[in-house]
Amino acid sequence: MMSAPRLSLRPGEPGDLSFLRSLAPRLVASAPPWRRQDDLLAEYDVLFAAALTDPEPDSAVLIACADGQPVGFTLLYWHPHERGVFVKDLAVSADAEGQGVGRFLLDAVERWGRHQGAVEILLKTSWFNGRARDFYTSLGFREDHVALVLRLEE
């Protein structure tokens, strides 16, 4: 029987850019068919680079490591007017899936948020990503808003 990896947490740094980029396809895999995955991936390139090299105030990139190697991350923002933490992205490598990394990251988000004075954690996931929705529901998240999108032709 394999033992669970020893997980640790650290802040993201510019050298983590290739790791974050390697997980971007997992973030867009459940996008609706009318979204262009290449466009989404290009947007993540820009977002991740900025988050690691020129972060917005009150934002954080947290990296989960198993035995010292990165296996997941979350990108989050503090919204003081709403007293909430917004989880922009959370992804776990395929090899680490099912080993508690997602739960570990959300525990870190909760600690980070409580330190900021948050009263809630907000996140979005694709309607088409039933697995993620089930995971978040199992941790106590409840559906609140429904986002509707009208795609304008470019």
For residues 61 and 16, the answer to whether their CB atoms sit within 8 Å is yes
Q: What's the average model confidence in pLDDT over 48-74?
A: 96
Residue 153 predicted with pLDDT over 80: no
Domain that holds residue 106: 7-138
Residue 1: per-residue pLDDT: 45
CB atoms within 10 A of CB 45: 13
Q: How many domains does the chain have?
A: 1
Element (H, E) at 6: none
* Beta strand spans in 33-126 (E): 59-66, 69-79, 84-92, 120-123
Do the domain assignments include residue 2? Answer: no
Do the domain assignments include residue 153? Answer: no
Q: How confident is the model at residue 127 (pLDDT cuts 50, 70, 90)?
A: confident
Q: Which long-range contacts does 33-40 make (Cβ < 8 Å, 24+ apart)? A: 34/151
- Least confident window among 9-13, 28-32, 39-43, 95-99: 28-32
Residue 35 predicted with pLDDT over 60: yes
The pTM (predicted TM-score) of the whole model is: 0.90
Residue 3 predicted with pLDDT over 80: no
Helix 37-53 to helix 17-28 angle (10° resolution) is 150
Do the domain assignments include residue 129? Answer: yes
Do the domain assignments include residue 113? Answer: yes
